Amino acid sequence: MTEPVRYTQAGRLMAIDTVLGPDALLLERLEVEEGINRLFTIQARVRAQRDEVRPDEIVGTAADLSLTLADGSQRVWNGLVTELHEGPIVTRGARQYALTLRPRLWLMSQRSDCRIFLTQSTLEVLETLCAEHRIRDYTLAGVTRPPQKRDYVVQWNETDLAYLLRRLEEEGLFYWFRHERGTHTLAVGDHPSAYDGSQDTRVRLAFGSSDAEHIHDWRRQLSFTPGRRAGKDYEFLTPNLDLASDTPSIDRVPENASYELYEYPARALTREAGERATRLRIQATETGFDRVEGRSSVRTLAAGSRFTPYEVAHPGHVYPAQVITQILHRAEDPTYESGAGTPHYENTFTTLPADRPATPHRMIPRPRIDGLQIARIAGPPGEEIHT
C-alpha cells in the first residue's frame, strides 16, 4: 500500500503551529480581523495530516500563525483556539477543519458576576481581572493620564469582559493587541504617542500596477460632526456648584459650530470631572471626522501601527501620517493541490490621522438594577455606615 504524501509548511506563504505538533495541520486559508477597541478574530482553514482532530486536543490551547514577508522573515499572530469546525474529506483522505482563534481577554466573556469594586481605578480593575483570568501579557505604558480611583463601582450581571470594556470606554482608554511568537499583548493607551511604529515608516501608494507591495486603493472620507460636546450634573452636597461643562471640537466645517451633543446627567460631580468627560466625548466624536478606507498588498500593516503613504509617480502629493484602526487580512495558499493556483495575500483597512487618539465611544450600556434590593447594612464600629 502506498504511504500518503507527507507535506511540510516550510517555504510556503503561511504556516500554523499548534500543540498537535509541526505540520500536523497545514494552513490553507487565513483571515485575521484586528483593530483598535476590538478583540481580534482569526479564522483559519487547515488540512489535517492525521485521521482525526479531537476538540479536547486543541480547543482552549494557543496557536501561532505566520505569514512570510518579502524579505523572508515572518510575521506572527498568536491566539487562543476557541472553536473547531469539522469539514469535508479532501484528496488523499485528508480532512479539512476550520479554527477560530481569539485573544485570551475573550475568556472574560465566559464569566459573569455581581460585585463591588471599592476605591479602585479602572487600571487597577484591569489588573485585578487580568490576574483572576491568568492574563499576564498586557502593558499600560501608553496611558499618559491615569484615571482616578472611584470610591464605589458596581459590576451587575455583566461579564467580566463587558464590565472591563465599559470602564475603559468611560475613561477614554483605547486598546489593541501586539503579536509575537508564543504570545499576544494587550496594549492600553490614551494618547497618540501610544501607537506602535513611527510616522517615518513609509508605505507606497500606487494606483496603477506595481510589482512591489503597495496600497492600491485609498478613499478618504470627511464627515460632518457636531462642533461641541456638553454636559451638566448635580451634586446634593454642593447644590450651588455649577457643574456645567462643554468642549468645542477641533474640526470645523460650515454650520457644525451650531450643533452640540448635550448630556444630563453627565455623571461628573466635580468641575474637573465634567471638563474631562466632555473632552473625552468630543475626542470620540472627532474620530469620525477624517477617515481613510484602503486596500493593499502590504503584509506588514497592523492594527495600532503608524505609517505615512507616499507616491513615486507624484512625489509632490503629501499625505499625513495615519494609524490603522481596523484591518482585515486575507491570505490563501492552494499549493497543496497541483494546479489549484498560486499563494495570495491582500488586506482592507481603515485609518485615522496618527495625531489623534482613538478615543472610544461609550458603546457598552450600563446595567440596570430593577426592583427593590434587600441587603444587610454594615460598617466599621464607630464610623458612619457606608456599605
Q: What is the pLDDT of residue 362?
A: 96
Alpha carbons 144 and 122: distance in angstroms, whole number:
14
Residue 348 falls inside a structural domain:
no
Tell whether 70 and 118 lie within a shared domain. Answer: no
Q: What is the CA radius of gyration of the chain?
A: 25
Q: Which of 375, 295, 294 is nearest to 116 (CA)?
A: 375
Q: Which of 286, 305, 324 is the last residue of a domain?
A: 286
Alpha carbons 195 and 42: distance in angstroms, whole number:
22
Residue 150 falls inside a structural domain:
yes
Q: What is the pLDDT of residue 152?
A: 93
Q: Which of 286, 301, 325 is the last residue of a domain?
A: 286
Q: What is the CATH number of the domain that holds 186?
A: 3.55.50.10
Q: What is the pLDDT of residue 3?
A: 54
Place of cell 513609509: 202
Tell whether 120 and 89 lie within a shared domain. Answer: no
Tell whether 20 and 86 lie within a shared domain. Answer: yes
Residue 356 falls inside a structural domain:
no
Predicted model pTM: 0.92
Task: Determine the structural domain holding residue 142 and report its residue range.
Answer: 107-192
Residue 135 falls inside a structural domain:
yes
Residue 73 falls inside a structural domain:
yes
| Distance set, CA 273 to CA 19, 127, 243, 371 (Å) | 49, 23, 9, 30
Q: Provide the β-strand partners of residue 150.
A: 120
Q: What is the pLDDT of residue 11?
A: 86
Residue 97 falls inside a structural domain:
yes
Q: Are 13 and 331 in contact (CB under 8 A)?
A: yes
Q: Are 232 and 226 in contact (CB under 8 A)?
A: no
Q: What is the pLDDT of residue 373?
A: 76
Alpha carbons 36 and 191: distance in angstroms, whole number:
13
SS3 track for the chain: CCCCCCCCCCCCCEEEECCCCCCCEEEEEEEEEEECCCCCEEEEEEEECCCCCCHHHHCCCEEEEEEECCCCCEEEEEEEEEEEEEEEECHHHCEEEEEEEECHHHHHHHCEEEEEEEEECHHHHHHHHHHHCCCCCEEEEECCCCCCCEEEEEEEEEEHHHHHHHHHHHCCCEEEEEEECCEEEEEEECCHHHCECCCCCEEEECCCCCCCCCEEEEEEEECCCCCEEEECCCCCCCCCCCCCEEEECCCCCCCHHHCEEEECCCCCCCHHHHHHHHHHHHHHHHCCCEEEEEEECCCCCCCCEEEEEECCCCCCCCCCCEEEEEEEEEEECCCCCCCCCCCEEEEEEEEEECCCCCCCCCCCCCCCCCCCCCCCCCCCCCCCCCC
Tell whether 100 and 90 lie within a shared domain. Answer: yes
Q: What is the torsion angle, in degrees rounded to the nearest 10, for the CA atoms of residue 133, residue 97, residue 58 and residue 49?
A: -150
Tell whether 134 and 95 lie within a shared domain. Answer: no
**Around Cβ 346, how many Cβ atoms within 10 Å?**
15
Amino acid letter at 10? Answer: A
Q: What is the pLDDT of residue 1?
A: 42
Tell whether 99 and 118 lie within a shared domain. Answer: no
Tell whether 252 and 271 lie within a shared domain. Answer: yes
Question: How many angstroms from the chain centroid is the CA of residue 326?
Answer: 8
Domain count across the chain: 3
State phi, psi for 224 to the nearest 5 degrees: -70, 125
Q: What is the CATH number of the domain that holds 80?
A: 2.30.110.50
Residues in the chain, total:
387
Q: Which three cell numbers stand for residue 10?
A: 516550510
Tell whether 33 and 96 lie within a shared domain. Answer: yes
Can you give the pLDDT of all 387 residues of the chain as single tens digits? Answer: 445 567 888 889 999 999 999 999 999 999 999 999 999 999 999 999 887 899 999 999 999 999 999 999 999 999 999 999 998 887 777 889 999 999 999 999 999 999 999 999 999 999 999 999 999 999 999 999 999 999 999 999 999 999 999 999 999 999 999 999 999 999 999 999 999 998 889 999 998 766 789 999 999 999 999 999 999 999 998 888 999 999 999 999 999 999 999 999 998 889 999 999 999 999 999 999 999 999 999 999 999 999 999 988 888 889 999 999 999 999 999 988 776 689 999 999 999 999 999 999 999 999 988 887 777 777 777 777 765
Q: Which of 261, 286, 311 is the last residue of a domain?
A: 286
Residue 269 falls inside a structural domain:
yes
Tell whether 101 and 19 lie within a shared domain. Answer: yes
Helix 122-132 crosses helix 160-170 at what angle (to 10 degrees)? 160
Tell whether 101 and 113 lie within a shared domain. Answer: no
Q: What is the pLDDT of residue 313?
A: 83
Q: Would strands 150-159 and 112-120 be described as parallel, antiparallel, or unpaired?
A: antiparallel
**Around Cβ 12, how many Cβ atoms within 10 Å?**
17
Residue 329 falls inside a structural domain:
no
Tell whether 118 and 48 lie within a shared domain. Answer: no
Tell whether 94 and 70 lie within a shared domain. Answer: yes
Alpha carbons 128 and 252: distance in angstroms, whole number:
42
